[in-house]
Amino acid sequence: MCGIFGISGHPEAANLAYLGLYALQHRGQESTGIVSSDHSTLYDERGMGQVADVFPREKIRRLRGDLAIGHTRYSTAGSSALANAQPFRIGYHAGEIAIAHNGNLTNAGRLRNELESEGSIFRSSSDTEVILHLIARSSWRNSPDAVVDALKRVEGAFSLLMITRDAVIAARDPRGFRPLSLGRVEGAWCFASESCAFDLIGAEFVRDVEPGEVIVAAPGKDPESFHPFAPTPEHRCIFEYVYFARPDSKLFGRSVHLVRKRMGQELAKEHPAEADLVVPVPDSGVPAALGYSEQSGIPFEVGLIRNHYVGRTFIEPQQSIRHFGVKVKLNPVREVIEGKRIVMVDDSIVRGTTSKKIVTMFKEAGAREVHVRISCPPTIASCYYGIDTPDPSELIAANNTVEQIRRYIRATSLGYLSLEGLTRATSGAAGFCTACYTGTYPVPLDAEDREQLRLFEKPARRR
């Protein structure tokens, strides 16, 4: 999962890209980079770590020009290394281009094999580099046409920002798996994975980049929009609403916070509990817990405090840090919990180890009962479109019944929101990918695709 930001036609382009990436930091913390253009050449700076660490003031000063794109990365394909830090930049027959990608390409392995057999030399282990090779080999002599030519060959999930010497090009795959929005600030056009980036720089949200749309934004001109791909049913990632996006973002046309609240209301209807308090697992469980509380009439209470100086468990890439992180990042408020029957609201259970530790914390803090409520269905399948869900062998719900999971995490009761409840909360099922809850993949992968994709997997996920 990654965050991308771009801006065209602003004298402070690199500074605004820096701020935009800062707002998108939750989407990836392993590496970050910005490429800018002053219409004569591209400038790039990349590094490992978070935005504030990678970009001291002098680095931003080196990023000249009124065009910029940026990327903040959490690896779902390719290892966590500087060689895989984006944006990637190349020179080719039509000039220079750099690319920032959110999503995963499902046919990247096959394409890479094909390109390597024809002489291409790859510099990274990222699926994104395949797109650059396809652009460089296109017979089209101008960048927008070469980009479209390349994108017609890739499958899977891509929200992309590219920069040439004279324009920023945005593209979203025809199914629209990953979000990408268009904004306006002081006469410049900007793009971001989530609208919270626009809020930080004072930009106005204009609209979502449509699934299958390509937009070319050159300074001083209105953006040009194309729909070069064959029409395809939309499959926006429903998990963005459940967990990933920031609650203050407007995503796929709706407020993430309000959708999460509705998930909590639906959860309360489907799985009521006799309890004294509704307690969220912070931070992503908070809106659903508010909704549960509103619907059930059980008081909402902050009974678990999060240490914000520890990374989010789900996106820490190393297993050793993940276990360490659970212990240091959450602490129950004993005075709130003691003697109470708790409804603990969380956004998902992946392996079950974190939930088990939190339930244990509540019990050790004196909770009489812990009723666990999860604001999405059981996660039973891996994601091939850009979210780092583990292999099904590690997903507790892929291998256990709800009752077995309840026993494992030692909860008094356990209830998951149904798929119907989740889609009601998002105001209708049409147009969403729900593959991690159903195992039905909108872009099918055969055994060879899956085997080929292992070329790009992070070492930690190989088995």
Count of residues binding ligand SF4 (CB under 6 A)?
11
Write the DSSP symbol of residue 36.
E
Order the strands of the 277-280 sheet from edge to edge. Answer: 277-280, 341-346, 369-374, 413-416
Residue 335: which residues within 8 A CB-CB, separation 6 or more? Answer: none
Query: E strands of 74-232, at which residues?
Result: 88-92, 95-102, 159-163, 168-172, 181-185, 188-192, 204-208, 214-217, 224-226
What gap in Å lies between CA 248 and CA 196, rounded to an integer? 6
Alpha-carbon distance of 338 to 342, in angstroms, equals 10
Q: Which of residues 156-215 bind ligand SF4 (CB under 6 A)?
A: 177
Our CB check for ligand SF4 shows the closer of 201 and 374 to be: 374
Shortest Å distance, C-beta 240 to ligand SF4: 7
Would you count residue 238 as binding ligand SF4 (CB under 6 A)?
yes
3-state secondary structure of 390: coil
- Applying CB under 6 A, the span of 17-25, 235-243, 282-290, 302-310 interacting with ligand SF4 comes to 235-243
Q: Which stretch binds ligand SF4 (CB under 6 A): 14-22, 69-77, 309-317, 382-390?
A: 382-390
385 binds ligand SF4 (CB under 6 A): yes
The nearest distance, CB 109 to ligand SF4, in angstroms, is: 18
Pick 156 or 291: Cβ nearer ligand SF4: 156
Is there binding between residue 239 and ligand SF4 (CB under 6 A)?
yes
- Which tokens hold the place of 147? 């980009």
Q: Which residues are catalytic?
A: 2
Q: How far is the CB of 354 from ligand SF4 (least distance, A)?
A: 18
Q: How far is the CB of 178 from ligand SF4 (least distance, A)?
A: 8
Q: Which stretch binds ligand SF4 (CB under 6 A): 37-45, 179-187, 236-244, 343-351?
A: 236-244
Judged by CB under 6 A, the residue of 387, 397, 411, 414 near ligand SF4 is 387
Query: Could you say which residues in the range 425-454 bind ligand SF4, by CB under 6 A?
Result: 433-436
In angstroms, the CA 351 to CA 428 distance is: 29
237 touches ligand SF4 by CB under 6 A: yes
**How many C-beta atoms surround the C-beta of residue 95 within 10 A?**
15
3-state SS, residue 182: strand
Is the peptide bond between 87 and the residue preceding it cis, with omega within 30 degrees of 0?
yes
Shortest reach from residue 236's CB to ligand SF4, in Å: 8
Which helix (DSSP H) or strand (DSSP E) does residue 413 occupy? Answer: strand 413-416
Residue 383 lies near ligand SF4 (rule: CB under 6 A): yes
Q: How far is the CB of 452 from ligand SF4 (least distance, A)?
A: 18
Q: 190 forms bridges with which residues in the sheet? A: 7, 183
* Least distance to ligand SF4, CB of residue 90, Å: 28
Asked if 359 and 372 count as a contact pair (C-beta separation under 8 A), the reply is yes
Helix count and strand count (H, E) for the chain? 18, 23
Label the pairing between strands 159-163 and 168-172.
Answer: antiparallel
* Beta-ladder partners of 159: 102, 172
> What DSSP letter does each residue of 229-298 carry, written as one string?
SPP----EETHIIIIIS-TTSEETTEEHHHHHHHHHHHHHHHS----SEEEE-TTTTHHHHHHHHHHH-P
Q: Binding residues for ligand SF4, per CB under 6 A?
A: 177, 237-239, 383, 385, 387, 433-436
